Chain A
Amino acid sequence: MATSTRIDSTPFGMGKASTGWFIILVALLAVVGAGAYAYSRQIVEGEIVTGLRDVGPAGGAPWGLYIAFELWAVGIGFGAMMLIAASRLFGWSHLVPLNRILAVMALATLFIGGWSVIADVGHPFRAVINIIRYARPMSPFFGTFTVGLVAAFASMLVYLYLDGRREASIMATRPGRLRGWFLLASAGYKDSVAERIRRQRTNTVMAVVLGIIGVFAASTSAFVFGVQQGRPGWFGALQAPGFVILAGATGVAATILVAALLRAELGDRESFGPKMFKWLNNILLGLTLMYIYILLVELVTSSYSSSAHAERVTDAIIRGEYAWMFWLSSGLFLLTAALTAVQAIAGRYNLRYIVLAAVILNVAAILKRYLIVVPGLTVGRLLPYPEGSYNPTWVEYLVVIGLAALAIVFFMVFMKVFPIVSSQNGQESEGE
Chain B
Amino acid sequence: MRIGLTALTFVIGAALSLVSYFVLAAPLGTPTNEGFSNPNLEFAPLLFVIGMSVTVLAVVVYEVLPDSEQSAD
Interface residues, chain A, CB within 8 Å of chain B? 131-138, 142, 145-147, 150-151, 154-155, 158, 161-162, 165, 187-188, 190, 192-195, 198-199, 201-202, 205-206, 209
Contacts and interface: CB of A to CB of B under 8 A. Distances in A.
Contacts of B42: 133-134
A154 B52 CA distance: 9
Interface in B46-60: 46, 48-49, 52-53, 56-57, 59-60
B13 to A, nearest CB: 11
Taking residues whose C-beta sits less than 8 angstroms from the other chain, chain B's interface range is: 20 to 34
B28 A146 contact: no
B26 A136 contact: yes
Contacts of A190: 72-73
B63 A132 contact: no
B26 to A, nearest CB: 4
Contact of B49 (A138, A150, A162, A165): A150
Nearest to A154: B53
Contact of A193 (B22, B28, B48, B73): B73
Contacts of B64: 162, 165, 187-188
A235 B66 CA distance: 51
Given A133-B39, A146-B45, A162-B60, 12 more contacts: A133-B46, A136-B39, A137-B22, A147-B52, A151-B49, A158-B57, A187-B64, A192-B67, A194-B72, A195-B67, A205-B59, A209-B59
Given A136-B25, A137-B28, A158-B56, A202 B46 contact: no
B25 to A, nearest CB: 5
Nearest to A158: B56
B12 to A, nearest CB: 15
Given A136-B25, A138-B26, A192-B67, A155 B56 contact: yes
A202 B67 contact: no
Interface of B: 21-22, 25-26, 28, 36-39, 42-43, 45-46, 48-49, 52-53, 56-57, 59-60, 62-64, 66-67, 71-73
A304 to B, nearest CB: 30
Contact of A158 (B46, B59, B67): B59
A202 B37 contact: no
Nearest to A186: B64
A424 to B, nearest CB: 14
18 contacts: A132-B46, A133-B39, A133-B42, A133-B46, A136-B26, A137-B22, A138-B28, A145-B45, A145-B49, A146-B45, A147-B52, A150-B49, A151-B52, A151-B53, A154-B57, A162-B60, A194-B67, A209-B59
Contacts of A132: 43, 45-46, 49
A162 B43 contact: no
A67 B26 CA distance: 26
Contact of B66 (A142, A147, A188): A188
Contacts of A201: 62
Nearest 9 interchain pairs by C-beta: A192-B73, A132-B46, A136-B26, A150-B49, A135-B45, A154-B53, A151-B52, A137-B25, A202-B63
A133 B48 CA distance: 11
Given A151-B53, A192-B73, A136 B37 contact: yes
